[in-house]
Amino acid sequence: MHYVALVEGEERHVEIAEIGPDQFELRMLDRTLVVDSKLVSETTQSMIAHHEAFNVESEQSSEGGENVLVRRHVVHVEVVDLRTLRMRKAQEEVGAPEGPAGIVAPMPGKVIAVLVEEGQTVKKGQGLVVVEAMKMENELRAPKAGIVKNLTVSEGQVVEGGVALMMIA
């Protein structure tokens, strides 16, 4: 699978292939790395790469993505698919809308996570809701800073494309 990892905001293209039980091949920056990985807990992976063992711990970040601790260094990482990255770049080119901004389902799907609450203050780019469509998870983000209004969906709800999910005012 091909992903884009945003590491401290820097775009890095990554290919990941499972080559055996708990073993993966990662290709990034013209470099190939074979990694053995075991899930230790919900937030910790034990890994071996280049005959070196280490743990990778992660926690959800309020800005979206995760804060990852590797060898005493914390980095902000967000992994997105190419389609999501293209959509974000297009939104950035257009700029933040003036006035209230409606958040709509891009296509029919199922809401698998609502990341905000009615009345919550959000930052531009903050994750709002995750909609699964065609076996892909699409995290919809705030196009501007503001307050969540008219939240109309809940986790597990099936939505049609173009349906208003909430508004950022």
Q: Which residues are within 8 A (CB) of 33 and not within 5 positions of it... i.e. 6 or more apart?
A: 25, 26, 27, 49, 50
**Do residues 66 and 79 make contact, with C-beta atoms less than 8 angstroms apart?**
no
Res 37: pLDDT = 94
Q: How far apart are CA 59 and CA 19, in angstroms?
A: 27
Res 84: pLDDT = 75
Res 55: pLDDT = 93
Res 121: pLDDT = 96
Question: Which domains, from first to last, does the chain contain?
Answer: 2-80 (3.30.700.30), 97-168 (2.40.50.100)
User: Which residues, given as ranges, of the chain have pLDDT below 50?
Assistant: none
Res 32: pLDDT = 92
Q: How far apart are CA 28 and CA 7, in angstroms?
A: 12
Q: Can you say whether the dihedral through the CA atoms of 156, 161, 163, 167 is positive or negative?
A: positive
Q: Is 9 exposed, middle or buried (0-12, 13-18, 19+ CB in 10 A)?
A: exposed
Res 96: pLDDT = 55
pLDDT tens for each residue of 127-163: 999 998 877 788 899 988 999 999 999 999 999 988 8
Report angle CA 13, 14, 19 to the nearest 5 degrees. Answer: 160
**Do residues 146 and 168 make contact, with C-beta atoms less than 8 angstroms apart?**
yes
Res 94: pLDDT = 57
Res 41: pLDDT = 93
pTM of the shown model: 0.49
Res 156: pLDDT = 95
Ordered alpha helix ranges (H), 36-114: 82-94
